[in-house]
A = this chain, B = another copy of it.
């Protein structure tokens, strides 16, 4: 347990520091705005992560020190835990100028010092350590959200603003090699997490058998070039490829291409954290909704993989490709190197599956407030797998189940095709 404690203390410190590094390029004003109901003000993310430690760890220890639980801070920084009391509505988080950024920052420091002392003390039992671990992974999730939200906020400005001045993006010729399908035999496969030493969420359990039909899956993500073909083939004008709801969505919001694409003088640009760039055709297409991923698959005479298929392929695939998680500091999906068998299953982009986000057979909800962490969202959302270029590597697992509504598209999501055999 001592090692575990040291490890956790280090992970805590590293994670908290990383969050600070991520927001370094921002100005105070950038921390305040909320440009749509999906995103949150960056200063809210910062405070909410601290609130989580206060509410779930410190309160559990019956410490008198919590700061955010005083005043109305609990009301403001509780995201959606009904068991933690009433909370400020998500859609109007951007209405709050207070608490000020500097106060949120100094509270972070205060909390970190407090946690530091806690790690030195002998008060931490397994239950508390578990809660701290969840708190750390919770903050990692918000690191990804912070980058997603900054991108969305900056993209909407009529001024051409950038999060990073210079791009780390490099370009490799892939000779325009077509994706290939790999075939898999039918059979009973293992799904879900049963690693005792690893951190995982309740929604990945229990580990169980699932029967898979024969299928094939493509060796890489769909590229901008391939997606552009779909767009230019009137993909967004032809109802045949779209779900009924998707078609209504297209019409209502006048959608004609992916979220961050923009047509200028006949060519598409793409908004990135490096500002507006020419669309790199060899890059995987990103910020794709489930609606769009499904329509593209239909146009390609293919389908999306199920999450069971995806996990099975992942379980027998070594990590051949160069990694692209948050730690690589690329923050965009990267282009492919020729000749790889399966690329990008891990990192790069979250990959849409056709599976709805539902409980596994035998699933048991956690007790207490953490019941609200995952299970109450098991309705009308779809599963994405594999992590992305803005996901902390430490946060990633092959059994990780991310989930979004089919119309959402501000996350780093892409398309891998599958087929029935």
Interface residues of A in 160-205 (CB under 8 A from B): 161, 188
* Chain B residues positioned under 8 Å from A358 (CB to CB): 354-356
* Given A96-B157, A406-B380, residue A362 in contact with residue B213 (CB < 8 A): yes
* Chain B residues positioned under 8 Å from A245 (CB to CB): 379-380
* Given A72-B159, A210-B211, residue A101 in contact with residue B29 (CB < 8 A): yes
Q: Mark A298-320, 1 if CB is under 8 A from B, else 0.
A: 00000100100000000000000
CB of B213 within 8 A of CB of A95, answer: no
- Number of chain A residues whose Cβ lies closer than 8 Å to a Cβ of chain B: 69
Q: Mark A352-380, 1 if CB is under 8 A from B, else 0.
A: 00111011011100000001000011111
CB of A32 within 8 A of CB of B35, answer: no
Distance in angstroms from A28 CB to nearest chain B CB is 4
CB of A213 within 8 A of CB of B361, answer: yes
Asked if A119 is an interface residue, CB under 8 A from chain B, the answer is no
Partner of A242, one of B80, B98, B363, B376: B376
CB of A361 within 8 A of CB of B97, answer: no
Binding site for B on A (CB under 8 A): 27-35, 43, 71-72, 75-76, 80, 82-83, 88, 92, 94-101, 153, 156-159, 161, 188, 208-211, 213, 215, 239-240, 242-247, 290-291, 294, 303, 306, 354-356, 358-359, 361-363, 371, 376-380, 406, 420
Q: List 16 A-B contacts (CB under 8 A).
A: A27-B100, A28-B29, A28-B100, A35-B92, A72-B159, A82-B239, A82-B247, A96-B157, A98-B159, A99-B159, A209-B211, A243-B378, A244-B379, A354-B358, A362-B420, A379-B406
